[in-house]
Each structure stands twice: as structure tokens, then as C-alpha cells.
């Protein structure tokens, strides 16, 4: 009888936790704690009770206590998919990515129809850039005739991350325009339009974003949101961008009032202050956000804040510092994807615009590639000419292995002789810059046991026809 009384309270605790996730209202979190405390008094020996207490602690940002409760729960629930699901989510916040992936995959195997588990497993694949596994899962669900909008969204996100913008756009066009269960739908639509430089389409997305998702997708309320300012800046309307950023900045302070300012607050105002040209304030605020939630404390949230710091460095003219952050994030789960880093050019000759991260960080005109403008970006993009197309895929594989599988083979489409010519023609390239470029390419060639390309036969780099 007591067990039968306990189970509804465990179920109630989960429902309240779900309401908290959906609405962000801490009242639901408090109600979840009350329900699970009652269950704990009734049956402290039940694994379900400790599982729900672990869920509460996870949402209350007390991961260590949550893990302790899971350890108790799993003594009697060794194959409980919900316990494994919670463990997997905790693991990724603690930089235990292998354990997170293993737990979520096992939870999915035990409960393959659980869409919440499926979603979070896909997020692991995405953060880890395991696009092969992500694509396999999507295709498997489609093969099972589960071709719903969720699968289409996942496919669009996958293509976006891999830099296939046209493919992402085509998938999004197949989705019902009124389908709006989560902010990711609108974020993907907005980002795709932004990446394609279709600012009219991006503006239409801004106008259509439901109010409940506005803060997550466009950073405020239209027509004075972060996204409105970003589009104005992209169109070259500096006056409007400044007005939007200024208004949005004031609204942020009004919204937060006298409440405790956390990392989200400092990250948000840092971006706005950077847009307003307040360099010192913006950098200080972005660094404060990182200090409050470093990767060592939370490996799920930390990369987002470091990416924001790179953006602020970029918008305030500190490009070397921005690229330094990118070099770190390129090897970090949750850092920018290939789709974020892939260079595009505008026929109009205006500055490139990908995601906000790269808009001013690269800021290169259509006359120059990112490679020529800053040789440190050779690790992210290298031009290939037709003479070496036979080796392009293999060399790309070598570079992918060296740099954390961030990049896809499409990156390496023109050969390094263009880089060699650029280096010789650019007087501002120092010998050390050229050495860095050559060394990156040589390492990649060695990684896949390729002959050293002729363009690299310079200085001491040649050794028995192989790159060192």
C-alpha cells in the first residue's frame, strides 16, 4: 500500500520538474521537491524515490548530490532508462563525455520510443561532432517510418553544422511552418537564413518567433532584439543597429532589476555593449561570464560562454584573442561547428556574415580569403588547387584527425599552392607565419602518409620526399 502511495508522488515530482523546464518557474521546482520529500518519507528504500530526488538535484544545479542519489537508485534499478538518462545528462556537464554517450545510448536502447532520450542523445552527438552516428540514428528512425517533423529538424541541424546550407534550407522548407514545439525550430530557421545572407528571410523569422521563445532565439523582444540589431548591422545600417542595441541594453537591466546577476546576464550585456562599441566594458563582462561558469565547472554551458567571449573580442577589434579562443574551442565539445567556421563571400563586397561569432572576427572583404588575411586560420581553412585533387580527401582526413574532426573534406577544395603564392605576395607575412602554415599542412600530410606537396618544399621541411 505504501509503495502504491509513493509512485504517484514520484510521478508528480517528474511532472513538476517538466513544468520547470518548460516554463523556467522555480515554483514548479519547489513543488517537485515537496513531492519527492513525501515519497522519501514513505519509502526511503525505493530506487524510484532516489531517482526522482536525483532529477530534482540535477535541475537545481546540484550535480554532485544528484549523482549520489543516482548511485543509490541504480542499486535496485540497474537497467532503468530514466536513471541512465539522468546520469547521461549529468555526465556531460562534468566533462565525462564518454560516460554520457554510453548512458544515453543504453537508455535509448532500453526505451527506443522515448523522444526525450532521443533528443538528448542527438545533442551529445552534435556537441561531440559525431555526425556519422547522428545521421545514422536519423536515417534509422526514418526507415522505421518515423518521418515526423522532429526528424526533419534533426536533419536540418545536421546539415547546418556540416556547412550544407542549401540542404538545410531544403529540409526546413518541408517542415510545417506552424510547427513550433521548441525554440530550436526557430533558431535553426534564423541561423540558416543568416548563413545564406538572406536577411529578408531572417527578418521574417524574427517576426514569426513566438514570444515564449524570443529570448532564446533572438535575444529579446522584437523589433529591438539582439537579432534585429544584428540584421541591421549586416545590412550596413549602423545607425539602426546602434539604436536597437542601445534599447535592448536598457531593457536587459530593467528585466534583471536588482536580482542576482549570473553568467547569462553578463554574456548578454557583453554582446550588446560590444555592438555599441563599449570595448572595455564588453570584454570585462564577457570574461566575467566565463569566470562564473568555466568549462571546468560545467562542460555543457562553458563552451557557449567562451564562444560569446570570442564574439566580443571580434566585435571589439581583438581578432588575435578571438582566434585564440577559436583554436581552443575547435577541440572542445560544444564549440563552433564547421558550419560556423566555413567561409562564405558576398558578391556585394561587404564583410562576411556567418553566425554573429564570425561576422566581425573575420570581417574579410570579398577580395580576400580568411586564409590570406590571417595565416593562423590555415588550421581551419586551406585552399587547394586542381593539381592535388587526388590527395585532397586523404589530406583532409589527416587534418580532421589532427584537429578533432571539426572539419569536413569539402573544406580542402583548392590546393596549397595558392597559399604559397599568397605568402610570397604578402609582405606582412613573416617567416614564422609561413612556417606555421607549412607545418600544419606537413603534419596533415604525414598523418595520412602522403608525399610532401611541392609547394611545401621550402627550408628544412623536405626529408626524403616525405613531410616531417
Confirm whether pTM is higher than 0.75. no
438 in a structural domain? yes
Residues 165/201, Cβ–Cβ less than 8 Å: no
CA distance 463 to 449: 13
Is 418 within the bounds of a domain? yes
Mean pLDDT by runs of 10 across the 468 residues of the chain is 59 86 84 90 90 94 93 92 96 95 96 92 94 91 75 92 92 90 92 92 94 87 89 91 93 88 93 94 97 94 94 91 88 85 40 36 30 39 32 43 38 37 41 50 49 36 33
SS3 label, residue 467: strand
Upper half-sphere CA count for residue 120 (Cβ side, 13 Å):
27
Burial class (CB in 10 A: 0-12, 13-18, 19+), 106: middle
CA 339 to chain centre: 10
How do beta strands 462-463 and 466-467 pair? antiparallel
- Gap between the Cα atoms of 159 and 413, Å rounded: 19
- pLDDT value of residue 282: 97
Which residues lie closer than 8 Å to 357 by C-beta, 6 or more apart? Answer: 307, 310, 311, 314, 336, 340
Residue 109 within any structural domain of the chain: no
Distance separating alpha carbons of residues 43 and 3, to the nearest angstrom:
7
Does residue 415 fall inside a structural domain? yes
The SS3 call for residue 463 is strand
Does residue 379 belong to any structural domain of this protein? Answer: yes
- The total number of residues written for the chain in this structure: 468
- How far apart (Å, rounded) are the C-alpha atoms in residues 63 and 69? 10
Q: Is residue 265 part of a domain?
A: no
pLDDT for the residue 394: 43
Strand-pair partners of 451:
466
Classified as helix, coil or strand, 465 is coil
pLDDT at position 23:
75
Q: Which long-range contacts (CB under 8 A, 24 or more apart) does 236-242 make?
A: 236/350, 241/275, 242/275, 242/276
46 within 8 A of 76, measured Cβ to Cβ: yes
For residue 16, give the nearest of 42, 52, 45 by alpha carbon: 52
Contact status, residue 449 vs residue 425, Cβ threshold 8 Å: no
The helix or strand, by DSSP H or E, that contains position 466, with its residue range, turns out to be: strand 466-467
Instruction: Retrieve residue 387's grid coordinates.
Output: 593539381
**Residue 129: enclosing H or E segment and its boundaries?**
none
CA distance 322 to 340: 14
pLDDT tens per residue, range 349-401: 233 333 434 433 333 222 233 333 444 443 333 332 223 333 444 444 444 44
- Which pLDDT does position 441 carry in this prediction? 53
Does some domain include residue 30?
no
Total domains present in the chain: 1
Q: Which domain covers residue 400, as residue numbers?
A: 370-467
What is the three-class DSSP state of 310? Answer: helix
> Per the domain annotation, does 33 fall within a domain?
no
Amino acid at each position: 500500500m505504501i509503495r502504491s502511495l509513493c509512485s504517484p508522488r514520484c510521478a508528480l515530482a517528474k511532472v513538476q520538474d517538466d513544468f520547470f523546464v518548460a516554463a523556467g518557474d522555480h515554483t514548479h521546482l519547489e513543488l517537485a521537491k515537496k513531492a519527492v520529500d513525501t515519497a522519501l518519507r514513505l519509502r526511503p528504500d525505493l530506487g524510484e524515490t532516489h531517482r526522482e530526488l536525483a532529477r530534482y538535484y540535477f535541475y537545481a544545479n546540484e550535480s554532485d548530490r544528484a549523482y549520489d542519489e543516482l548511485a543509490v537508485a541504480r542499486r535496485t534499478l540497474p537497467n532503468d532508462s530514466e536513471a541512465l538518462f539522468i546520469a547521461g545528462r549529468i555526465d556531460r556537464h562534468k566533462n565525462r563525455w564518454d560516460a554520457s554517450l554510453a548512458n544515453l545510448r543504453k537508455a535509448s536502447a532500453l526505451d527506443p520510443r522515448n523522444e526525450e532520450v532521443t533528443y538528448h542523445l542527438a545533442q551529445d552527438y552534435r556537441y561531440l561532432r559525431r555526425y556519422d552516428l547522428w545521421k545514422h540514428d536519423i536515417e534509422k528512425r526514418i526507415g522505421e517510418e518515423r518521418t515526423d517533423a522532429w526528424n526533419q529538424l534533426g536533419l536540418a541541424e545536421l546539415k547546418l553544422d556540416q556547412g550544407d546550407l542549401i540542404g538545410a534550407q531544403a529540409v526546413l522548407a518541408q517542415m510545417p511552418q506552424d510547427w513550433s514545439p521548441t525554440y530550436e525550430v526557430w533558431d535553426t530557421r534564423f541561423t540558416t537564413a543568416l548563413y545564406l545572407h538572406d536577411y529578408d528571410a531572417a527578418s521574417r523569422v524574427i517576426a514569426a518567433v513566438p514570444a515564449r521563445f524570443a529570448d532564446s532565439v533572438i535575444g529579446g523582444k522584437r523589433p529591438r532584439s539582439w537579432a534585429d540589431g544584428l540584421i541591421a548591422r549586416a545590412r550596413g545600417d549602423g545607425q539602426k543597429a546602434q539604436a536597437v542595441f542601445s534599447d535592448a541594453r536598457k531593457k536587459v537591466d530593467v528585466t534583471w532589476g536588482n536580482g542576482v546577476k549570473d553568467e547569462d546576464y553578463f554574456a548578454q550585456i557583453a554582446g550588446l555593449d560590444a555592438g555599441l562599441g563599449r570595448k572595455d566594458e564588453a570584454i570585462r563582462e564577457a570574461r566575467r561570464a566565463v569566470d562564473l561558469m568555466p568549462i571546468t565547472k560545467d562542460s555543457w554551458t562553458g563552451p557557449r560562454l567562451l564562444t560569446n567571449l570570442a564574439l566580443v573580442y571580434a566585435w571589439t577589434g581583438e581578432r588575435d584573442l578571438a582566434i585564440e579562443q577559436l583554436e581552443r574551442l575547435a577541440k572542445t565539445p560544444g564549440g563552433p561547428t564547421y558550419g560556423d567556421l566555413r567561409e562564405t563571400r558576398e558578391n556585394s563586397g561587404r564583410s562576411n556574415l556567418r553566425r554573429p561569432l564570425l561576422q566581425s572576427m573575420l570581417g574579410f572583404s570579398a577580395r580576400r580569403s580568411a586564409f590570406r588575411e590571417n595565416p593562423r586560420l590555415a588550421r581551419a581553412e586551406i585552399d587547394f588547387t586542381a593539381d592535388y585533387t587526388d590527395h585532397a580527401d586523404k589530406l583532409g582526413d589527416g587534418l580532421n584527425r589532427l584537429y578533432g574532426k571539426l572539419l569536413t573534406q569539402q573544406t580542402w577544395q583548392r590546393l596549397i599552392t595558392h597559399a604559397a603564392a599568397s605568402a610570397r605576395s604578402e609582405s606582412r607575412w613573416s617567416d614564422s607565419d609561413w612556417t606555421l602554415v607549412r607545418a600544419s599542412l606537413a603534419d596533415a600530410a604525414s598523418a595520412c602518409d602522403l608525399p610532401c606537396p611541392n609547394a611545401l618544399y621550402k627550408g628544412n621541411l623536405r626529408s626524403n620526399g616525405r613531410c616531417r
